Amino acid sequence: MRAFIDAVNRRTFLTRSAAGLGLAALGSLLAREAAAGQGPKSVGGLPGFPQFAPKAKRVIYLFQSGAPAQMDLFDYKPELEKFRGKNLPESIRRGQRLTTMTSGQASFPVAPSIFKFARHGKCGAWLSELLPHTAKLVDDIAFIKTLQTDAINHDPAITFFQTGRQLSGLPSMGAWVAYGLGSENESLPTYVVLTSKGTGRTDDQPLYDRLWGSGFLPSKFQGVRFRNTGEPVLYLTDPPGVDRDMRREMLDELRQLNEEKQARVRDPEIATRIAQYEMAFHMQASVPELTDMSKEPKHVLDSYGPNVHNKGSYAANCLLARRLAERGVRFVQLFHMGWDHHFNLPKAIRGQCQDTDQPTVALINDLKERGLLKDTLIVWGGEFGRTVYSQGTLTPTDYGRDHHPRCFTIWLCGAGIKGGVTLGDTDDFSYNVVNDSGVNIRDLHATMLHLLGIEHERFSVKFQGLDARLTGVEPARLLKEILV
């Protein structure tokens, strides 16, 4: 009995003294479960994964939070000018659901884009003047112009993209990938999230940590969000009086206590916790090195634009994404806020494109020069599109746009992607899909998993009596039209 009390007291002391380090891995520290009662793997994923030879080893997802207006950037509609200011025909609206922000409008005046479009590249893709850098890479990009979603408001729409469902609490796509494939670097998280605020709208929709959560998967697979101010990850620095040797000794003692507990109760959470404490210890060295940009060549920094020197900017995060990719991080997701342009769209979207256009292309070129683009999948896009009619007053130089889930544009580049192609057609108002060319988010998820060497229908976890999948139980097809 005395030995047990001593063990408990000692464990309490060591746990408290190591609490700072325990937080270092943020949400990755505690696991709800480990597969089949086994201890977690710090490198590698499920047995037999990938299920076939993958095209992509990693994903960098450039999520444009708030929903970019497709007809102002990608979906050129020259015939709209003759409908300027006229009410959107009911034959186009077809009684489709509207948000409460515009459903009470007396009219729905058509608002053609005020921006010039031109063809670019050998493929002749139409792009807005707002994207001069992206225009140089259209022959490397596959555009999907007919993506559709079931959600019409931001939070459920982003949740749908992230988890395959509109309801929160399920694993994010990054967590699924981390669970299946694991990491190539045991000193960094498998799934890293970076966020930035756009100049287009600084008070844009918030983001919640559950968007990169692990749901019913072991929580060590959830995304680790790097902070934009101070230390990238909290409590990476040891407190005064604690050096690396002392920290190592604390962890060794804590590991021994955890292993003794594990031997008694056989709780897989304990095995997971041991591994995550070890990763946090490694992160104390790996994260400062990762985020130190001082050795980056000047021409590389210049390629990302002047904002690359501003920590937490989209440009800085694009450069950080490249550094994460070359260090073996499996899934990197950048969220750039500020695209929710209900009013003052022309001014706001200019700011957003200035934030993102040059750094996005610099990231792709940087990966290409280092031989990483061939096995890195790049995805760019938001949670839905925007309406062709104006929200609020339409003037010759100003308009806003409401949410539109029926058709919008995203693009992909890199590993396994056929460049210079466009998938899908929309009507003359960029309001509806034509020629049965609609693409569901499930199709996108299935295609992403395929490029990573995973068959989406054979990638499931038992949960509440169901074989739960990222793509769910409804049909999902591979987008073979954009694959090499």
Ranges of each domain in the chain = 2-482
Give the pLDDT of residue 312.
Answer: 96
Give the pLDDT of residue 385.
Answer: 98
Of 65-79, 86-100, 202-216, which range is least confident?
Answer: 202-216
Q: pLDDT per residue over 369-379, tens digit each?
A: 999 999 999 99
Q: Is the pLDDT of residue 7 over 50?
A: no
> At 12, is the pLDDT very low, low, confident or very high (cuts 50, 70, 90)?
very low
> At 90, is the pLDDT very low, low, confident or very high (cuts 50, 70, 90)?
very high
The alpha carbon dihedral of 196, 197, 203, 205 has a sign of: negative
Of 124-128, 159-163, 201-205, 215-219, which range is least confident?
Answer: 201-205
Q: Is the pLDDT of residue 388 over 80?
A: yes
Which element (helix H / strand E) includes 458?
Answer: none
Q: pLDDT per residue over 114-146, tens digit each?
A: 999 999 999 999 999 999 999 999 999 999 999
> Is residue 100 classed exposed, middle or buried when 0-12, 13-18 and 19+ CB atoms within 10 A define those classes?
exposed
Give the pLDDT of residue 277.
Answer: 86
Q: Is the pLDDT of residue 49 over 50?
A: yes
Cα–Cα distance for residue pair 170/468, rounded to 1 Å: 10
Q: Is the pLDDT of residue 236 over 90?
A: no
**CA separation, residue 103 to residues 63, 156, 184, 318 (Å):** 28, 19, 50, 38
- Residue labelled with tokens 């988890």: 163
Q: Is the pLDDT of residue 27 over 80?
A: no
Contacts of 281 (CB under 8 A, 6+ apart): 21, 247, 248, 251
Q: Is the pLDDT of residue 310 over 50?
A: yes
Give the pLDDT of residue 238.
Answer: 86
Of 113-117, 220-224, 265-269, 340-344, which range is least confident?
Answer: 265-269
439, 479 Cβ separation under 8 angstroms = yes
Mean pLDDT confidence for 52-58: 97
Mean pLDDT confidence for 440-455: 98
- For 405, phi and psi rounded to 5 degrees? -95, -5
Mean pLDDT confidence for 457-476: 95
pTM for this prediction: 0.90
Cα–Cα distance for residue pair 431/388, rounded to 1 Å: 7
450, 171 Cβ separation under 8 angstroms = no
Give the pLDDT of residue 36.
Answer: 37
Mean pLDDT confidence for 294-308: 97
Instruction: DSSP for 280-347, please give it.
Output: HHHHHHHHHHHH--TTS-HHHHHHT-GGGGSTTSHHHHHHHHHHHHHTT-SEEEEEEE----SS-HHH
Cα–Cα distance for residue pair 355/311, rounded to 1 Å: 13
Give the pLDDT of residue 44.
Answer: 63
> Is residue 29 classed exposed, middle or buried when 0-12, 13-18 and 19+ CB atoms within 10 A define those classes?
buried
Cα–Cα distance for residue pair 288/279, rounded to 1 Å: 14
272, 22 Cβ separation under 8 angstroms = no
Which element (helix H / strand E) includes 363?
Answer: helix 345-369
Give the pLDDT of residue 204.
Answer: 82
Average pLDDT of every residue of the chain: 90
Q: pLDDT per residue over 396-435, tens digit each?
A: 999 999 999 999 999 999 999 999 999 999 999 999 999 9
